[in-house]
C-alpha cells in the first residue's frame, strides 16, 4: 500500500510542478491542463518506472492474497 501511495503522490507532485512551470511561461486554462498532463506523463514514465513496477507488484500480490483467502473461505463453506 505504501508504494501505491508514494507513486500517486509523486505523480501528483510532478503534475503540479509541470503546471506551475507552464503557468510561469504563460499557459492558461485548458491548454495549461492538457500540456501539464502530457508533459508530466512523459516525465513520470521515465522517472518513476521503478516505482511503477513496485506499485504493480504490490497491487498484484494484494489481489492474489485476497483471491486465495476467498477461495479458502469458499472451500470451508462447501466442505
HEC letters along the chain: CHHHHHHHHHHHHHHHHHHHHHHHCCCCHHHHHHHHHHHHHHHHHHHCHHHHHHHHHHHHHHHHHHHHHHHHHHHHHHC
Q: Residue 74's pLDDT is what? A: 77
How many Cα neighbours within 13 Å face the side chain of 73? 6
Q: What is the mean pLDDT of residues 70-76?
A: 77
Q: Residue 79's pLDDT is what? A: 61
In whole angstroms, give the CA distance from residue 10 to residue 6: 6
Can you give the pTM of this predicted structure? Answer: 0.74
More confident residue, 64 or 41: 41
Name the residue ranges covered by the structural domains of the chain. Answer: 2-78
Q: Residue 4's pLDDT is what? A: 87
**Residue found by looking up cell 512523459 in the block:** 42
Amino acid at each position: 500500500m505504501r508504494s501505491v501511495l508514494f507513486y500517486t503522490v509523486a505523480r501528483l507532485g510532478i503534475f503540479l510542478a509541470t503546471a506551475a512551470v507552464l503557468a510561469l511561461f504563460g499557459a492558461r486554462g485548458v491548454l495549461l491542463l492538457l500540456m501539464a498532463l502530457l508533459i508530466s506523463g512523459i516525465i513520470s514514465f521515465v522517472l518513476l518506472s521503478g516505482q511503477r513496477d513496485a506499485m504493480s507488484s504490490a497491487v498484484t500480490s494484494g489481489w492474489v492474497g485476497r483471491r486465495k483467502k476467498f477461495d479458502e473461505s469458499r472451500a470451508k463453506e462447501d466442505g
